[in-house]
Structure 1
């Protein structure tokens, strides 16, 4: 089983990428590929640019990675209550090529933030639109106050209850 995981952010210190990677590695016996959204460069989406260049190469490469996956784990970063601009732009380009961006793959949606909201707003938006874009959403979880609940030095959760909740969410992919 190939799990493709990514944090919906281009930050080099993305806590959502850390969470997606951690979660993906909980799947027993799975091969894990963690994507870095910086590898899928696309211009700012507009119909004019699309007419000029056609399909953006970064979006085609992103869709090709998803096509290889048996399952997806996506952790959504939240900027001002919504998707990050970089993720939304890549998603927009991708959806112009393949409306069902997530290609009917089983998926787990996660989110986290440094604060107590755990990026819950963006997670709710992603959950609400999952079926429109070809995600077979199996489960989701928001992790509040990431730095208080996850030890970056050890790469483990400090809170056993949160670790168990995440494990149960990930088991929905089996």
Structure 2
């Protein structure tokens, strides 16, 4: 099996985020040789800042990381029935860089949330926010990890068998989508 470069974006900055656990589990199931989580600790999108100073180095670094990846996985929490400000801010900033690092990039979405829908609304919103960049978004299987605090073992592995099965299928689909490039 070829070795690929996989980049993960976590819509939560919290160290104990279950969306970060979900990214790590996805990367483990994907089994890349190189996995890097992008840093979304970016300044707030501000056109005045961009006009004055240009694209911040942290934004350009994130865009370059995405551009250099074979595929991207995005895990989004659901905050007030939508994506986090952190994720939206990153998408807004990346839209300002020269070129389009997302164009034709295989992308898989997933979400973990405390609610019973597992972040379904946030994932739908993330899909809408990514569509203008024209990535190759996988349509499924949809991975929503509900009641997320109870779904992880001491080792950080997903204990929900159905969720783990779907996540494995999603990563298989992502690997196949890279192969179609």
How much has 1:76 moved relative to structure 2?
Answer: 0.8
1:2 to 2:5 alignment:
yes
**Structure 2, unaligned runs of 5 or more:** 176-181
Q: Give the TM-score, by structure 2 length.
A: 0.84
CA separation of 1:8/1:99 partners in 2, compared to 1, >3 Å: closer, same or farther? farther
How much has 1:169 moved relative to structure 2?
Answer: 1.2
* Structure 1 residues 1-174: aligned runs within 5 Å: 1-38=4-41, 41-42=42-43, 44-98=44-98, 100-138=100-138, 139=140, 140-151=142-153, 153-174=154-175
Q: Distance in 2 between matches of 1:98 and 1:105?
A: 16
Q: Distance in 2 between matches of 1:98 and 1:114?
A: 37
**Structure 1, unaligned runs of 5 or more:** none
How much has 1:101 moved relative to structure 2?
Answer: 4.6
Q: Distance in 1 between matches of 2:99 and 2:133?
A: 6
Given that residues 151 and 159 in structure 2 are in contact (C-alpha distance below 8 angstroms), is that contact kept between their aligned partners in structure 1? yes
SS in 2 for 1:72: strand
Q: Give the TM-score, by structure 1 length.
A: 0.87
Q: What is the RMSD of the two structures over their aligned residues, measured on CA atoms?
A: 1.9
Q: Distance in 1 between matches of 2:35 and 2:12?
A: 18
Count the aligned residue pairs: 170
Q: Distance in 1 between matches of 2:100 and 2:117?
A: 29
Question: Which runs of 4 or more aligned residues in structure 1 lie more than 6 Å from their structure 2 counterparts after TM superposition?
Answer: none
